[in-house]
């Protein structure tokens, strides 16, 4: 069963899932999963890394996947690195497509991740929190 991100849900930050993701909402960040389906109302503003990607909505960023399917309603702005690519009539693509083997796609993604600077551990300061509880009536 896939992880479903509903149409009324917006994520700000990266998503990583070892299974399937069905995206109907919006992700402002990178998505990494086994299989990703971006529904017609779904959008990704970031890079996508997956074994297979089916796009019916919008992606602004680079797609790296063994198999990529662009439906007629898809809108992709960015490069696609793929082993197999299918594009339905009506799909929008503004970017470059490059065919790679699955191992080349994986090696490129690992090299890109290794080149990213590592975030420093956040400093934790103990502060006495001011907490105000407000109860609303329904």
**pLDDT computed for residue 120 by the predictor:** 53
Domain boundaries defined on the chain: 3-114
Question: Exposure string (b/e) for 69-83, b if CB count within 10 Å is 16 or more?
Answer: bbbeebbbebbbbbb
**pLDDT computed for residue 129 by the predictor:** 43
For the stretch 106-122, pLDDT in tens is: 777 777 777 766 555 44
For the stretch 68-109, pLDDT in tens is: 999 999 999 999 999 999 999 999 999 999 998 877 877 777
Contacts of 104 (CB under 8 A, 6+ apart): none
What is the pTM assigned to this prediction? 0.78
Can you read off the two tokens belonging to residue 100?
């790679």
Can you read off the two tokens belonging to residue 35?
């299989």
What does R_g of the chain's alpha carbons equal in angstroms?
18
Asked if residues 65 and 50 have their Cβ atoms less than 8 Å apart, the reply is: yes
């Amino acid at each position: 069963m896939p992880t479903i991100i509903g149409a009324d849900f917006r994520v700000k930050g990266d998503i990583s899932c070892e299974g399937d993701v069905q995206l109907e909402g919006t992700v402002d960040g990178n998505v990494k999963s086994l299989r990703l389906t971006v529904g017609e109302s779904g959008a990704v503003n970031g890079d996508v890394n997956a074994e297979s990607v089916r796009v019916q909505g919008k992606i602004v960023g680079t797609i790296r996947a063994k198999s990529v399917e662009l439906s007629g309603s898809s809108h992709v702005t960015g490069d696609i690195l793929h082993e197999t690519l299918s594009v339905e009539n009506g799909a929008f693509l503004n970017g470059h497509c490059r065919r790679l083997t699955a191992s080349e796609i994986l090696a490129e993604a690992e090299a890109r991740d290794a080149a990213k600077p590592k975030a420093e551990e956040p400093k934790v300061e103990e502060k006495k929190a001011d907490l105000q509880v407000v109860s609303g009536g329904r």
